[in-house]
């Protein structure tokens, strides 16, 4: 099948990883592996934000990040705020590195494994670390060091993919 610009369009018999944009010009999907993980990360981020709202409403603390400064790490609003902020500090950077790696030819399976692991590490950091034992749960160091490992691994892989540019 050909559109009015004489550009071949994939049909059901000729599968293609492309999408039509604008005037019907097919463009390849640029980063489908990274894009696959955007929804789970966004949903978990929304969950973390709503946890903060819940603690604000139940404690009637509408400003600030603590219900009672004497509670320290057992203050639920403070823990929820720090969990959300920590997620916001780390996940966008790793997603950006994954995107750069994928755009430079990374194997999509590697990107999927890395971002799947990152998701598990971030959830364990909060749900098995920050929210347990006065923010000292076993998931906290696992999530922290796991996130660092994913960031280091993806950034090293991205650098490896462009090594010929510098040589």
Secondary structure string (H, E, C) spanning the chain: CECCCCCECCCCCCCCCEEEECCCEEEECCCHHHHHHHHHHHHHHHHHHHHHHHHHHHHCCCCCCCCCCCCHHHCHHHHHHHHHHHHHHHHHHHHHHHHHHHHCCCCHHHHHHHHHHHHHHHHHHHHHHHCCHHHCCCHHHHHHHHHHHHHHHHHHHHHHHCHHHHC
CATH number of the domain bearing residue 79: 1.20.120.550
Same domain, 49 and 115: yes
Same domain, 104 and 120: yes
Same domain, 94 and 62: yes
- As for how many domains the chain has, the answer is 2
Same domain, 16 and 88: no
Same domain, 12 and 80: no
Predicted confidence pLDDT, tens digits, the chain (167 residues): 444 444 455 555 555 666 665 667 777 888 999 999 999 999 999 999 999 999 999 988 888 777 777 766 678 999 999 999 999 999 999 999 999 999 999 999 999 999 999 999 999 999 999 999 888 999 999 999 999 999 999 999 999 999 999 88
Same domain, 4 and 65: no
Range of the domain at 13: 1-29
Same domain, 40 and 88: yes
Same domain, 135 and 55: yes
Same domain, 16 and 46: no
Same domain, 4 and 49: no
Same domain, 20 and 56: no
């Amino acid at each position: 099948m050909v559109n009015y610009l004489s550009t071949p369009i994939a049909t059901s018999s000729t599968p293609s990883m492309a999408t039509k944009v604008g005037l019907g010009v097919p463009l390849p999907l640029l980063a489908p592996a990274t894009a696959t993980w955007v929804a789970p990360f966004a949903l978990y981020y929304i969950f973390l934000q709503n946890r903060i709202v819940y603690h604000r409403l139940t404690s009637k603390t509408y400003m600030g990040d603590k219900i009672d400064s004497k509670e320290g790490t057992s203050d639920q609003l403070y823990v929820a705020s720090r969990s959300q902020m920590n997620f916001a500090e780390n996940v966008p950077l790793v997603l950006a590195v994954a995107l750069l790696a994928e755009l430079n030819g990374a194997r999509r399976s590697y990107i999927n494994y890395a971002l799947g692991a990152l998701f598990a590490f971030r959830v364990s950091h909060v749900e098995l670390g920050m929210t347990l034992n006065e923010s000292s749960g076993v998931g906290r160091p696992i999530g922290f060091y796991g996130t660092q490992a994913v960031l280091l691994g993806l950034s090293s892989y991205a650098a490896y993919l462009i090594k010929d540019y510098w040589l």
